[in-house]
């Protein structure tokens, strides 16, 4: 088999959403490169296997991608497809995010029972499920009366707990629900002013080995430049803060022609303190804007807050 005919192998998690994303990338590659042979390599990650503890307790979001990177290291796979909100701020030196797709809806979704269509309509003491400290912090800041309960598992598992009456509402990403054909389950799309999204939320990224010119060349056709500019700004913000999985950090960049607006947030997990600021500037200077915004929040007290969360 010639190099041109060698299948391009895509490492992916086994969840329904991850498989959808990998198949979507495969379809885009086939469209861009007619005749290409593509194989999916579904893998189970530690983050998927451990469902009875929070991500903070078991080591963070990186547990969703480690096995995929190992598969590439061992040359059992050529590329890996990720939700960029699950990718740590620092990617190992031997890998790179070679392409990012156009961003989907980055907002968080309130999925509620009893016909509720606004966060304000949840009754006092309502039980809301989420595994995200970022969502928890902002939810508690907006509605300190709510009871936050840990909710892990894939989208179907989380929806079943809501439908069974274990919870009054749950928070999920709009993008994931839309990709799974579950947009009708969205009770409300939360305004970023109320709940700032996670870094990279709504963005599919494709990782490869930096020393793999074939994969890098094939993936160039999928790159969305505007999404890359926004993502670089958000990830620069997170990297400068050096937060961990115990850190409620959020950032969201929006492009308006050649200008970029970046909102960033660091908060106490219980929502008792929220540090938030924004910057604007040239979209080409997104990384610098991200670092500047992080410095402003560090000066405002985020440094001490994050250090306490890391060591506590």
Q: Which residues are catalytic?
A: 86
Tokens coding 131 = 């595994």
DSSP string across 58-120: HT-GGGGTHHHHHHHHTTS-SEEEEEGGGS-SS--TTEEEEEEPPP---SEEEEESTT--SGG
- Would you give the end-to-end CA distance of the chain in angstroms? 55
The number of residues making up the chain comes to: 312
Helix (H) / strand (E) element for 12: namely: strand 8-13
How many other CB atoms are there within 10 angstroms of residue 143's CB atom?
Answer: 18
Residue 22's alpha-carbon distances to 9, 64, 84, 254, in angstroms, are 10, 14, 13, 26
Would you call 310 helix, strand, or coil by DSSP? helix
Residues whose CB falls within 8 Å of the CB of residue 273, separated by 6 or more in sequence, listed in order = 267, 305
CA angle 63, 77, 12 (to 5 degrees): 45
CA angle 260, 242, 54 (to 5 degrees): 105
Residue 45's alpha-carbon distances to 13, 49, 133, in angstroms, are 7, 6, 21
Helix (H) / strand (E) element for 288: namely: helix 286-297
Are 25 and 101 in contact by the 8 Å Cβ rule? The answer is yes
Residue 17's alpha-carbon distances to 60, 70, 102, 174, in angstroms, are 19, 21, 17, 12
Report the sign of the C-alpha dihedral through residues 271, 290, 130, 107, in that order.
Answer: positive
């Amino acid at each position: 088999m010639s190099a041109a005919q060698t299948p391009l192998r895509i490492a992916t998690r086994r969840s329904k959403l991850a498989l959808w994303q990998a198949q979507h990338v495969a379809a885009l590659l086939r469209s861009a490169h007619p005749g290409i042979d593509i194989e999916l390599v579904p893998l189970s990650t530690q983050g998927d296997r451990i469902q009875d503890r929070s991500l903070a307790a078991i080591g963070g979001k990186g547990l969703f991608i480690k096995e995929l990177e190992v598969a590439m290291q061992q040359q059992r796979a050529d590329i890996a497809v990720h939700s960029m909100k699950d990718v740590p701020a620092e990617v190992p030196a031997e890998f790179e995010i070679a392409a990012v797709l156009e961003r989907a809806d980055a907002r968080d979704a309130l999925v509620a029972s009893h016909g509720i269509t606004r966060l304000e309509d949840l009754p006092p003491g309502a039980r809301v499920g989420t595994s995200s400290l970022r969502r928890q912090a902002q939810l508690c800041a907006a509605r300190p009366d709510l009871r936050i309960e840990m909710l892990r598992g894939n989208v179907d598992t989380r929806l079943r707990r809501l439908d069974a009456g274990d919870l009054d509402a749950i928070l999920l990403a709009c993008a994931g629900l839309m990709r799974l054909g579950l947009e009708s389950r969205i009770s409300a799309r939360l305004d970023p002013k109320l709940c700032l999204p996670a870094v990279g939320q709504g963005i599919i990224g494709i990782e490869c080995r930096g020393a793999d010119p074939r994969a890098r060349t094939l993936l160039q056709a999928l790159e969305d430049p505007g999404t890359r500019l926004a993502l670089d700004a958000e990830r620069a913000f997170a990297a400068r803060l050096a937060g961990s999985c115990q850190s409620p950090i959020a950032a969201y960049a929006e492009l308006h022609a050649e200008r970029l607006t970046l909102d960033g947030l660091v908060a106490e997990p219980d929502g008792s303190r929220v540090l938030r600021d924004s910057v604007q500037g040239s979209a080409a200077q997104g990384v610098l804007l991200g670092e500047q915004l992080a410095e402003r929040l560090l000066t405002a007290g985020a440094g001490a807050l994050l250090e306490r969360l890391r060591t506590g």
